[in-house]
A and B are shown apart, each in its own frame.
Chain A
Amino acid sequence: DGGITQSPKYLFRKEGQNVTLSCEQNLNHDAMYWYRQDPGQGLRLIYYSQIVNDFQKGDIAEGYSVSREKKESFPLTVTSAQKNPTAFYLCASSILPGNTGELFFGEGSRLTVL
């Protein structure tokens, strides 16, 4: 089945450690996105990529990094510089970047910093 796969579903990290969240899609979508979800805060955009080897900062990019070496993959690294990393992270993709294309979301990764 086509879709977006995020892994791991749950992740625990000690303070000071970097962690990478995986996002893979087999929908042949050009655009991919990372959102952070906190209780009562909705979805906030971290980074997005409209094409391979190119990505842009979203509204809350500080403390995060991404890469887009392949069309189907858009991993997110939460660095030790992120002051409050505990959150639910959602990856999404769409056919048409910057247009009215539907976003398809993965099932999310919950990161907890101990």
Chain B
Amino acid sequence: GENVEQHPSTLSVQEGDSAVIKCTYSDSASNYFPWYKQELGKGPQLIIDIRSNVGEKKDQRIAVTLNKTAKHFSLHITETQPEDSAVYFCAARGYGGSQGNLIFGKGTKLSVKP
């Protein structure tokens, strides 16, 4: 089955700097890669996602890139702000049936220092 590795487990940046979180996946059949943000004491929320037919997607200060050949994808946050501090999870999903469930990485705790 699918396995998702996420790095780093913790990341500390100064406000205004960029942050990059990287994930690798094992199943070449996976075709959907979302990123979730979890604030303290709350459930995760989808912030951006990418499908396997796209190499890059941007939404304001957030971007995700996908390299299907290398089987890795990354989250890029530019001009970080204190409210970006949270735990971020990447995930991968195959197609259909029991393979259609999301497999999550172990999370990255991002701290943005003012």
Contact = CB atoms under 8 A, between A and B. Distances in A.
A108 B45 CA distance: 12
A85 to B, nearest CB: 19
Given A98-B101, A102-B34, A41 B42 contact: no
Interface string A31-62: 00100000011111100100000001010000
Contacts of A92: 43
A45 B101 contact: yes
Interface in B67-114: 89, 93, 96-102, 104-107
A40 B43 contact: no
Contacts of A108: 41-43
Nearest to B45: A105
Secondary structure call for the B interface: mixed
Instruction: Indicate the size class of the contact surface on chain A.
Output: 20 to 34
B46 interface: yes
Interface of A: 4, 33, 40-45, 48, 56, 58, 90, 92, 97-100, 102-103, 105-108
15 contacts: A40-B106, A42-B89, A42-B104, A44-B104, A56-B98, A92-B43, A98-B96, A98-B100, A100-B32, A100-B49, A102-B34, A102-B49, A103-B36, A105-B44, A108-B43
